[in-house]
Amino acid sequence: MPHAAALLDDLQRYAPDIVEPDDFDHFWRDTRTEASARPVLVDVRPEPTDLRLLDSWDVTFAGFGGDPVRAWYTRPAGVSEPLPAVVEYAGYGRGRGLPHERLTWPTAGYAHLLMDNRGQAGQYAPGDTVDPHGAPGGPWPATWGILDPRDYHYRRLITDAVRAVEAVRALPGVDCARVAAVGNSQGGGLALAVAGLVADLGAVLTTAPFLCDMRRAVQLSEPAPYGEIARYLAVHREAEDAVWRTLSYVDGVSFARRATAPAHFGIGLRDTVCPPSTGFAAYNQYAAAARPPVPPAREMHVYPFNGHEGGEAVHVRRQLRWLGSMLHPAGPSGRLPGHES
């Protein structure tokens, strides 16, 4: 492995020319328009958690194709005024789990929406959202419908992620002007896609992002999810052109180039799941195609001796401090709204 300093120097200059389809913007504009034609909230009901300091709700919203997508909405108990919100996206193979599993953001004073991953639950955490759309492709989520961008699983999942922002803004107690998209791995890729598609997002926090610099990632990475695409191509040898075309519509670098929200990145230099260069490809071109061309605040935190786990608790602390400086969830006293005493 190259010396960390030399490797980092190369990564800081890495800005590949990602091939974008000519109709990239038209494709996503049409996809979003179709989804937004339906009311976003389907059902909201209280969810008992036995957590005295937090209130939680079981939310169902209309995602891609109007499909019901489940989410947990959690916020500090007894706080009635609008709060800044964090929309969090889970990693590959994870569902939303149980509402008391992810408490960092609501205990930090944010309204928190955790989106379920359609069709992916069961490998790491349970979920409650199916993906009812079948299309030719492989047996894994990363390959579902991979022969055509309109059929691809990530067209649906990215649309769900955008609709999750619309859903949280429709929920009570949310300051709609202060909404952040947050995620690790697959969740980080979804957060970047949302940043490129939602023009008025307040901030984006992405760690070890999946879906970036896809052609390079598939060639470099052996583990899932990229390895699943490589294994599909090892069997379907004549599908390569169609697969690269489909992946070009969901590449996080293309979304990052269109983003305008302040951005916080984290990457482990020993990551073999999402190669570090692919995350740097998104960071180094972040906001490059934004209009107007005003570069937003952005930070990159690098962990030279860590892999896909990144900086873990140390990185979360940095995220909390950075997002607090961007969205100001606490008053001058440092206390949460509604807890002044």
Structure confidence by residue, pLDDT tens digits, 134-167: 889 999 999 999 999 999 999 999 999 999 999 9
- Is residue 221 within 8 A of residue 273, CB to CB? The reply is yes
Q: Note if 185 is an active site residue.
A: yes
Spell out, as residue ranges, where the chain has pLDDT lower than 50.
1, 331-341
Residue 340 lies inside a defined structural domain of this protein: no
Q: What is the CATH number of the domain that holds 192?
A: 3.40.50.1820
Whether 308 is a known active-site residue: answer yes
Give the pLDDT score at 317: 98
Residue 263 to residues 111, 194, 322: CA-CA distances in angstroms? 19, 12, 10
Q: Residue 204: what pLDDT?
A: 98
d(CA 233, CA 18): 20
| 272-317 confidence digits (pLDDT tens) | 999 999 999 999 999 999 877 678 899 999 999 999 999 999 999 9
Q: Is 231 part of any domain?
A: yes
* Neighbour-count burial of 139, counting CB atoms closer than 10 A to its CB (0-12 exposed, 13-18 middle, 19+ buried): exposed
Positive or negative: CA dihedral 148, 159, 193, 206:
negative
| Residue spans of alpha helices (H) in the chain | 4-11, 24-36, 104-107, 153-170, 186-197, 214-220, 226-235, 240-248, 252-258, 276-284, 312-327
**Cβ(174)–Cβ(188) under 8 Å?**
no
pLDDT at 123: 76
How many C-beta neighbours within 10 Å does residue 25 have? 15
Query: Which entry of 112, 153, 264, 308 is annotated as an active-site residue?
Result: 308
Tell me whether residue 142 is in a domain: yes
Residue 10 resides in a domain: yes
Contact assessment for residue 73 and residue 115, using Cβ atoms and an 8 Å cutoff: no
Yes or no: say if 161 and 250 are a contact pair by the CB < 8 Å rule.
no
DSSP bridge pairs for 153:
none
DSSP string for 77-127: TT--S-EEEEEEE--TTB----TTS--HHHHTT-EEEEEPPTTTTTSSB--
Instruction: Kindly tell me the burial class for residue 4, based on how many C-beta atoms sit within 10 Å of its own C-beta (0-12, 13-18, 19 or more).
Output: middle
Catalytic residue (one of 116, 153, 185, 277): 185
Spatial strand order of the sheet with 203-207 comes to 41-46, 54-62, 68-76, 111-115, 83-89, 174-184, 203-207, 263-268, 298-303
How many structural domains is the chain composed of?
1
* 311, amino acid identity: G
- Compute the distance between CA of residue 135 and CA of residue 239 in angstroms, rounded to an integer: 14
**Any domain includes 177:** yes
Active site annotation includes 160? no
Task: Look at residue 340 in the predicted model and tell me its pLDDT.
Answer: 42
Residue 297's pLDDT is 92
Looking at the domain assignment, is residue 245 inside a domain? yes
CA dist., res. 144 & res. 135, Å (int): 7
Report yes or no on 130 lying in a domain: yes
Domain of 110?
Answer: 4-327
- Out of 221, 264, 271, 277, which one is annotated catalytic? 271
Could you tell me if residue 334 is inside a domain? no
How deeply is 240 buried, as exposed, middle or buried, from its count of CB atoms within 10 A (0-12, 13-18, 19+)? exposed
